[in-house]
Amino acid sequence: MHYPNGKRNNGINQLYAGNYPKKFSNRGMTLEKDINTTNKFYKDTNKAVIHKKPTPVQIVNVHYPKRSAAVITEGYFKQPSTTDYNGIYRGRHIDFEAKETRNKTRFPLSNIHHHQISHMKSIEAHGGIVFLIIRFSTYDETYYLPAASFFPYWDEQFNDGKKSIPYGAIKEKGYLIPFHFQARVDYLSIIDQLYF
């Protein structure tokens, strides 16, 4: 393909040829944006309805510099949030937490909170599909880690266990999530393999 400057753009040619150039795979987007784009695609194609849960905030002070504009100057979190996302897919409740780390060798358990684990265990006990999506941004790899594989690491840390999950264990026990242009974090393809 030639552009008005007369130069050939090899990146575009590679893209259309099905060969994604390295710079394209390192998209520079956050995990949350990728998941939100994926969820919109799932909803638009009537595949699933998954939403990001809003964090409940108590607004205390509002400043009105103009009649048409309000600025929140003070607010507090009402209560601890549960997980990041939930919804329904093929008649099953879906509930998951999404985390991104730059750490090359491990996923720190400090990224997750006790109330989130309690919530996830409760959902799993009632038959919901519960998991974590963990992105190692340095490697541009995103993994689906079933809650059942995650819970033992969480519980062991309170019995003198490690405070993190090794990268190798996530590669072994988790599932690499494929990247697609529209479903950037296609976690439903993993759920299809595991549950349906």
The CATH number given to 29-195 is 3.40.1350.10
Closest Cα to residue 57, out of 79, 77, 80? 77
Alpha-carbon span 185 to 189, nearest angstrom: 9
Rounded to two decimals, the pTM is 0.75
- Which single residue is written with the structure tokens 């008649």? 91
Q: 159, exposed or middle or buried, with CB in 10 Å at 0-12, 13-18, 19+?
A: exposed
Q: Phi first, then psi: what are they for 54, rounded to 5°?
A: -75, 145
pLDDT band for position 28 (cuts 50, 70, 90)? very low
Alpha-carbon span 129 to 123, nearest angstrom: 8
pLDDT digits (tens, 9 = 90+) for 85-117: 999 999 999 999 999 999 999 999 998 999 999
pLDDT band for position 9 (cuts 50, 70, 90)? very low
pLDDT value for 69: 78
> 137 near 101, Cβ under 8 Å?
yes
* 58 has a pLDDT exceeding 90: no
Task: Name the binding residues.
Answer: 82, 84, 97, 116
Task: Name the binding residues for Mg(2+).
Answer: 82, 84, 97, 116
pLDDT digits (tens, 9 = 90+) for 154-178: 999 999 889 999 999 999 999 999 8
